[in-house]
């Protein structure tokens, strides 16, 4: 049986180019997600959220495969970022950042399977992030996106390109969205690949 890869099936959403900002339409998609706040580099809840998301996503994948279901690739980590006061971003006050970390789930991965996967992970190890997990549909609609290559600290000009693109076609709407295509634990930061997406109205 061929492995299902949603990154290929949703190529227009997960295979962005560095060359130009493009407009995309993002339909309703189902994500495992965890909300939190604080500096992702120092806030324990951030690392706990990421560990819980991937532990459950992989547990569900292998449980389904063992039961004779389809094999599929686990999707990359995604993050929504926002603040209550935009001056916080200007001051780079990361302690006051708010975030929602997410991993896209295939339509055939149902609630019951994910609940079983959570129970299986919880039985093996105590992960604080498990209690904050939820499955939810998320619709972004009309967005602009581009691929950024390099460290997160150098995203500023790339984000500005996206905002300039939107300024000529509408206005910013919704939350800053990043899709992390690289394994930041192993890859050279100069080669990190991150899709920068911004909803627009």
Q: What token pair was written down for 85?
A: 């006061």
C-alpha–C-alpha distance, residues 68 and 38, integer Å? 41
Looking at the DSSP bridge assignments, the partners of residue 179 are 78, 195
Q: What is the pLDDT of residues 34-60, one digit of tens each?
A: 999 999 989 999 999 999 999 999 999
Query: Which of 123, 138, 153 is the endpoint of a domain?
Result: 138
CATH of the domain at 116: 3.20.80.10
pTM of the model: 0.93
* Residues 48 and 129 placed together within one structural domain of the fold: yes
Query: Which of 90, 114, 138 is the endpoint of a domain?
Result: 138
* Residues 127 and 182 placed together within one structural domain of the fold: no
* Residues 54 and 126 placed together within one structural domain of the fold: yes
* DSSP-derived 3-state class of residue 151: coil
Q: What token pair was written down for 42?
A: 């120092």
* Residues 97 and 37 placed together within one structural domain of the fold: yes
Structural domains in the chain (count): 2
The closest alpha carbon to 129, from 140, 141, 138, 121, belongs to 121
Q: Is the pLDDT of residue 98 over 90?
A: yes
> Residue 1: its pLDDT value, please?
62
* Residues 59 and 87 placed together within one structural domain of the fold: yes
Q: Which domain holds residue 117?
A: 28-138
At which residue do the structure tokens 């295939």 appear?
106
Q: What is the pLDDT of residues 125-135, one digit of tens each?
A: 989 999 999 99
Number of Cα atoms under 13 Å in the Cβ half of residue 54: 10
C-alpha–C-alpha distance, residues 115 and 88, integer Å? 37
DSSP 128: G
Q: What is the pLDDT of residues 167-186, one digit of tens each?
A: 989 999 999 999 999 988 88
* Residues 22 and 33 placed together within one structural domain of the fold: no
* DSSP-derived 3-state class of residue 133: coil
* Residues 117 and 146 placed together within one structural domain of the fold: no
Do residues 129 and 53 touch, judged by C-beta distance below 8 A?
yes
CB burial of 73-102 (b: ≥16 within 10 Å; e: otherwise) equals: ebbbbbbbbebeeeebeeeeebeebebbbb
Task: State the chain's maximal CA–CA distance in angstroms.
Answer: 52
> Residue 83: its pLDDT value, please?
87
CB atoms within 10 A of CB 19: 8
Q: Is the pLDDT of residue 95 over 90?
A: no
């Amino acid at each position: 049986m061929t492995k299902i890869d949603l990154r290929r099936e949703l190529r227009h959403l997960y295979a962005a180019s560095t060359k130009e900002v493009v407009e995309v339409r993002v339909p309703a998609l189902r994500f495992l997600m965890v909300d939190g706040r604080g500096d992702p580099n120092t806030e324990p809840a951030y690392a706990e959220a990421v560990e819980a998301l991937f532990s459950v996503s992989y547990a569900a994948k292998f449980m389904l495969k063992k039961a004779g279901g389809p094999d599929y690739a686990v999707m990359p980590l995604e993050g929504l970022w926002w603040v209550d006061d935009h001056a916080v971003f200007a001051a780079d006050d990361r302690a006051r950042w708010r975030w929602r970390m997410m991993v896209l789930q295939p339509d055939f991965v149902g609630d019951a399977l994910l609940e079983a996967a959570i129970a299986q992970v919880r039985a093996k190890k105590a992960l604080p992030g498990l209690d904050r997990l939820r499955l939810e549909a998320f619709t972004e609609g009309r967005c602009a996106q581009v691929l950024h290559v390099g460290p997160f600290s150098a995203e500023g000009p790339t984000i500005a390109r996206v905002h300039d693109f939107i300024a000529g076609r509408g206005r910013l709407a919704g939350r800053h969205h990043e899709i992390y295509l690289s394994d930041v634990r192993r890859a050279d930061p100069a080669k990190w690949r991150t899709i920068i997406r911004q909803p627009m109205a």
